[in-house]
Amino acid sequence: YMSQRTCNSCDGDRLKPDALAVTVLGMNIMEVTRQSVENALYWVEACRDGEWRDQSRSVSEPLTQREASIADQILKEIESRLGFLSRVGLDYLTLDRSAGTLSGGEGQRIRLATQIGSGLMGVLYVCDEPSVGLHPHDGDRLISTLKSLRDVGNTVLIVEHDEAVMRAADHIVDLGPGAGEHGGEIVAQGEIEAIISAQDSITGDYLGGRKEIATPKERRVAGEDSIMVAGARANNLKNVDVDIPLGVFVCVTGVSGSGKSTLVNEIILKRLAQHFYRAKDRPGPHDDVTGLEHIDKVINIDQSPIGRTPRSNPATYTGVFTPIRELYATVPEARARGYMPGRFSFNVRGGRCESCSGAGYTQIEMQFLPDVTVPCEVCKGARYNREALEILFKGASISDVLNMTVTEAHEVFENIPKISSKLVTLMDVGLGYIRLGQPATTLSGGEAQRIKLASELSKRSTGQTLYILDEPTTGLSFDDAAKLLTVLHRLVDNGNTVLLIEHHLDLIKNADWIIDLGPHAGDEGGELVAVGTPEFIASVGDSFTGGYLRDVTGIVPDPDAEGDCAIKSSDNGRHSNSLENGSGDVKIADILAEHGLNGSPTKPPKTGTRRRRRRRRRAASRSN
């Protein structure tokens, strides 16, 4: 067991005292690198102008004219590189952030930022879902960055499911019409109008409005029970107090870097894992988490692989392979031979091919080259020996079953409840196209996550489970997101609670309760902006999420809906943290906050946990 401790000599600064003694504007190099990209830009401006932008700090040691002249070109280079990071939506990251802690989307956008400043022309840039993890507010900046690469003579090729990115594209290639073996064809290509007019394009159906993920007409009402988090202050969280209502669909929203993952994964999930499973990971700093007696377990359904080896597959993970093996053991020929269910496992001796140990392939070591995988010469990839393959059910051997898609297997086993029920849940989450024996290493993150969801759906529900998902729509099309949403609603309808971190507006508008963090990222985030129904969040001027809910999804704002505006606005409607230089110059978000909806003054916020609970009790009593 290994653990990390801060160095006692440098106290985590990495450098010797003589290097740390050199300061610019009273800050040494490590103090500068601990700043976010946005604050580092303020520091560069202060070096040049001799004053901080927000005037909250005074420059104690301004540069002399000679020093400013020497530093001018260096400051331009620093400002340029920081500007690239800001333009791709990464202004909340600290400069000393470890590369290992970055998400895939953040790492990809950092690499994209380095290319912006290269000045190259005639280059083909290939990006795989660069919008992953981005709030729609940050996505607009990413689109501008991609267009700037195009405008200087480059080609940008993107794999993407985000509607805003699709609508900004000059040319779209739509593949389909289905998934897996039912896809692989070009359904339509051209400008967005060509995609919308294509009759066989599911993407075109959603872009053209022929299909949509509808806003629910009624929302579930939370009961009395809730999980209460007090004093959350990990990373950029600023002493956040928040209630997580139980028995409903809860969505945590906010711009990228606002503290969503810190609140849910670092505090709530780790605290519950400690309580239920005696996990050793310590939650982030907080005062208390109460209400744990109202749930019996917590399950984190992420996009990590369902297995690390090719031997793991959907059939073994969901447990459907066990009743299938038991069924084959009851076939008359198998009973006559005395075969047990273990005979039909490719992991144990007896029925498996011993030449490849049930893998179906062999690896040839190529010394200094990558290993080569070839089908087993004995079983030809069937995994089993001749005796096991002679046992048939409806003309199919056990190897044939593993090569079937979920839909094909359901047709074979539809009259066997123990098997068909598990296969139906896989089809319900949109995975009818995958093969039962498909190696886990070949599944995408979204497919792995939906297999986990299907596995949970097939279990007997206790009605007191908390499911946590972090951006489950990553890698999902419109249609797949709709299927995922149906599954999440089924979990909640069984009495469970779904706690979701999400930027996908179609999922956000379907939530029963929203917890919106912000108002911005990094040091300017980590606060509770508002909590309540989507209709209430849409009426909050200081919420970026609320702005997109009312502008994009068509949600009708309702200030009288259940909810609390946690960040209080001043009398003129502006958020106190949004003013620049105290001169009254404000950003776009501040204009929304100042004028509210349709130019009207913002309504004074309602606050108070007691008032919210009273409303919940009244609503619950009415529904009963």
Q: How far is CA 23 from CA 14, 28, 31, 60, in A?
A: 16, 4, 9, 11
Res. 601: pLDDT tops 60? no
SS3 state at 232: strand
Q: How far is CA 601 from CA 111, 119, 453, in A?
A: 43, 46, 44
| Higher local confidence (pLDDT), 179 or 32 | 32
Could you say which DSSP state residue 179 is in? S
For residue range 507-544, what is the model confidence (pLDDT) as tens digits? 999 999 999 998 988 778 899 999 999 999 999 888 89
Per-residue model confidence (pLDDT) at position 25: 85
Could you say which DSSP state residue 379 is in? T
Measured at the CA of 229, the angle between CA 225 and CA 231, to 5 degrees, comes to: 150
185 phi and psi angles, rounded to 5 deg:
-115, 150
Per-residue model confidence (pLDDT) at position 59: 61
For residue range 124-156, what is the model confidence (pLDDT) as tens digits? 999 888 888 888 888 888 898 899 899 999 999
The identity of residue 78, as a single letter, is: I
Kindly give, in sequence order, each residue whose CB lies less than 8 Å from that of residue 66, ignoring residues fewer than 6 positions away: none
Q: How far is CA 277 from CA 247, 272, 298, 494, in A?
A: 22, 8, 9, 23
Count Cβ atoms below 10 Å from residue 477 Cβ, excluding itself: 17
Q: Which of 243, 141, 161, 241 is nearest to 521 (CA)?
A: 141
Among 42-56, 179-193, 422-436, 583-597, the range scoring the smallest mean pLDDT is 583-597
Per-residue model confidence (pLDDT) at position 6: 85
Average pLDDT of 101-128? 83
Query: Band of the pLDDT at 78, cuts 50, 70, 90?
Result: very high
Helix 588-595 to helix 544-552 angle (10° resolution) is: 80
Place of tokens 């994009």: 552
Count Cβ atoms below 10 Å from residue 157 Cβ, excluding itself: 11
CA dihedral sign, ordered 482, 483, 488, 494:
positive
Query: Band of the pLDDT at 589, cuts 50, 70, 90?
Result: very low
Rounded to whole angstroms, the Cα distance separating 335 from 341 reads: 10
536 token code pair: 């209430």
Per-residue model confidence (pLDDT) at position 582: 34
Among 349-363, 481-495, 524-538, 597-611, the range scoring the smallest mean pLDDT is 597-611
Average pLDDT of 51-62? 64
% residues pLDDT > 90 (the chain): 51
Q: Which of 50, 256, 18 is nearest to 135 (CA)?
A: 256
Res. 483: pLDDT tops 60? yes
Rounded to whole angstroms, the Cα distance separating 91 from 93 reads: 6
Measured at the CA of 600, the angle between CA 597 and CA 604, to 5 degrees, comes to: 90
624 token code pair: 């009963």
Per-residue model confidence (pLDDT) at position 593: 31
**What element of type H or E holds 517?**
strand 513-518
Edge to edge, the sheet with strand 465-470 lists 297-300, 465-470, 497-501, 249-253, 513-518, 527-532, 563-565
Per-residue model confidence (pLDDT) at position 86: 87
Q: How far is CA 389 from CA 47, 352, 378, 398, 550, in A?
A: 76, 10, 13, 7, 59
Kindly give, in sequence order, each residue whose CB lies less than 8 Å from that of residue 137, ignoring residues fewer than 6 positions away: 255, 544, 547, 548
Per-residue model confidence (pLDDT) at position 550: 87
Average pLDDT of 495-517? 94
Strand partners, 498: 249, 467
For residue range 203-239, what is the model confidence (pLDDT) as tens digits? 999 999 999 999 888 999 888 899 999 999 988 899 9
Q: How far is CA 69 from CA 49, 59, 60, 77, 532, in A?
A: 12, 18, 19, 14, 53
Helix 417-428 to helix 445-457 angle (10° resolution) is: 140
Check: CB of residue 541 under 8 Å from CB of residue 500.
no
Count Cβ atoms below 10 Å from residue 224 Cβ, excluding itself: 12
Q: How far is CA 132 from CA 199, 223, 505, 508, 552, in A?
A: 28, 34, 13, 16, 19
Rounded to whole angstroms, the Cα distance separating 51 from 48 reads: 8
Query: Band of the pLDDT at 590, cuts 50, 70, 90?
Result: very low
Average pLDDT of 12-35? 91
303 token code pair: 């996009």
Rounded to whole angstroms, the Cα distance separating 209 from 195 reads: 12
Helix 417-428 to helix 406-413 angle (10° resolution) is: 150
Per-residue model confidence (pLDDT) at position 566: 65
Per-residue model confidence (pLDDT) at position 108: 77
Check: CB of residue 501 under 8 Å from CB of residue 470.
yes
Average pLDDT of 570-579? 33
Rounded to whole angstroms, the Cα distance separating 459 from 614 reads: 35
Res. 580: pLDDT tops 60? no
For residue range 306-318, what is the model confidence (pLDDT) as tens digits? 988 888 999 999 9
DSSP 420-488: HHHHHHHHHTT-TTSBTT--GGGS-HHHHHHHHHHHHHTSPP-S-EEEEEE-TTTT--HHHHHHHHHHH
Per-residue model confidence (pLDDT) at position 204: 95
What's the whole-number average pLDDT of the chain? 84
Res. 435: pLDDT tops 90? yes
Q: Where do the domains of the chain lie, and which CATH numbers do they carry?
A: 17-87 (1.20.1580.10), 101-207 (3.40.50.300), 226-302+453-568+605-623 (3.40.50.300), 314-442 (1.20.1580.10)
% residues pLDDT > 70 (the chain): 88
Rounded to whole angstroms, the Cα distance separating 251 from 503 reads: 9
Per-residue model confidence (pLDDT) at position 583: 32
Per-residue model confidence (pLDDT) at position 340: 95
471 token code pair: 């951006």
Rounded to whole angstroms, the Cα distance separating 27 from 20 reads: 9
Instruction: State CA 398 to chain mean position distance.
Output: 37
